[in-house]
Amino acid sequence: MGRWFGTDGIRGRVGSEPITPDFMLRLGRATGVVLGQGGRCRVVIGKDTRISGYMFESALEAGLSAAGSDIYLLGPMPTPAVAYLTTTLSASAGIVISASHNSFEDNGIKFFSANGDKLPDHLQDAIEEELERPFTTVAPQRIGKAKRINDAVGRYVEYCKGTVPFGTNFQGIKVVVDCANGANYQVAPMALSELGADVVAIHNQPDGMNINHYCGSTSPQSLCEAVVAHRADLGIAFDGDGDRVVMADHRGELVDGDQLLYLMARYRRQHGALPGGVVGTVMSNLGLEHALAQLGIPFERAPVGDRFVHRQLLEREWILGGEASGHILCLDRATTGDALIAALQVLEILVKSQSNLSDYTAAMLKYPQHMINLPVADRSRIERLQDDKIQDCVRSVEQELNGQGRVILRPSGTEPLIRITVEGPQEDTVVRLAEQLATEVSSSLAQ
């Protein structure tokens, strides 16, 4: 990857480079130049609900226009909706203005190709190279035009509904939907209601600053409580840009991405609809791996990030993969991770099997995991993770686990953090070992 692009696009604090209007102006122009290749191209722009999206939408629009590109503006839409509409509008690329599950103080940019999947590395590299060149504007007669797509919500809702078999309905199912005050605040309740579900929507009043604030897939406590309070059959929580989903069963117990993957894989294997196996990540719970093995389903791990899960799925010609955080990829139904489509698939499975979340996922026994996030002010210090003292501590922890668990020590791809995770059969042991390793890492980075 280049200087600006990380594992999931470009992300940072609003007002600090590169998350500034000036950079977005230049990024828009560079994107238009690379994709247009001297001619005219069409680019779709969507955003989540954070207040800075207005500013960056305008800057990107101006930059793209200066390069001679036409722009289709979608307004607040889930990230996977932008991927879908990029293809249906025959655009050269789609741009999402979002920092996903981060708080409103952050923002970022994600790209989709004309096919609705992640923008290839070589195009990202070309955009970065173009960013280094002087800002120029095409001749006045070639300046790009902007158009707002007023029916974007309806288009995407109909697409999502079409991913469940014709005639399927969710009548009699009561669902609490936590929209994270984010991009799914309109489309998710609408799609579920139109399919017959009795929907109780919470955290669906975005004000530009409450996105992901003690709500959504990263803070699902209020969802779990609401499911019990409303006597619902289940709960669904999305993140701010709508590409992650976790759920709660009728008892208010959390069901994470690993458990949802198990549910989908189990049902698909039973009905001959799972070619190959499942791709997870290095963070996927050992319980998922063991439960899939009992079903005879192959399981492979990719680096953290749905981009890498997607890549492995394509290489293996498999269709199902995801992360514990709730990124779920069903490539026979969507080109990218789509939280709403994944949620609809889960409801479809529960209706057809006449089961509930708790019973259907009971056979997957999760191993206790304990994660500690260490803030890193100076990202150059991350290289010290390979220091002998830290690696000796990692080996010591692994020896104590005695082959019955795992240690994951890695920098975050989206935030200035080092993530320390220990997994094993005993919760008190993994907590103690994670804290022991965190103390050593923190001490070494401070020197």
User: Of the candidates 41, 121, 46, which has an alpha carbon nearest to the alpha carbon of residue 85?
Assistant: 46
Alpha helix locations (H) across 362-402? Answer: 388-401
Cα separation, 142 vs 275, whole angstroms: 48
**β-pairing verdict for 369-375 and 417-423:** antiparallel
Packed helices 339-353 and 152-161: angle between N→C axes, nearest 10 degrees:
30
Alpha carbons within 13 A on the beta-carbon side of 295: 25
**Strand, coil or helix: 73:** strand
What are the helix (H) ranges across 132-245?
152-161, 187-194, 221-229
Q: What are phi and psi of 373, to 5 degrees?
A: -100, 120
Q: Residue length, the chain?
A: 447
Which residue bears the tokens 């692994």?
A: 398
- C-alpha–C-alpha distance, residues 245 and 210, integer Å: 18
- Determine the distance from the C-alpha atom of residue 97 to the mean position of all C-alpha atoms in its chain, rounded to a whole number: 13
Round to whole Å and give the CA distance between 328 and 258: 9
- For residue 129, the SS3 value is helix
325 is catalytic: no
Buried b (16+ CB within 10 A) or exposed e, 66-104: bbbbbbbbbbbbbbbbbbbbbbebebbbbbbbbbbbbeb
Distance of CA 244 to CAs 31, 197, 221, 236, 247, Å?
A: 27, 21, 16, 10, 10
SS3 content of the chain, % helix, strand, coil (to 5): 40, 20, 40
Residue of 100, 113, 222, 325 with catalytic role: 100
Contact between 82 and 97 (Cβ < 8 Å): no
* Residue found by looking up tokens 């590395």 in the block: 121
CB of 32 closer than 8 Å to CB of 93: no
Token code pair at residue 204: 């669906």
Asked whether 304 and 291 are in contact (CB, 8 A), the reply is: no
State the sign of the Cα–Cα–Cα–Cα dihedral 130, 131, 135, 137: positive
Partner residues linked to 245 by β-bridges: 238
Residues recognised as catalytic: 100
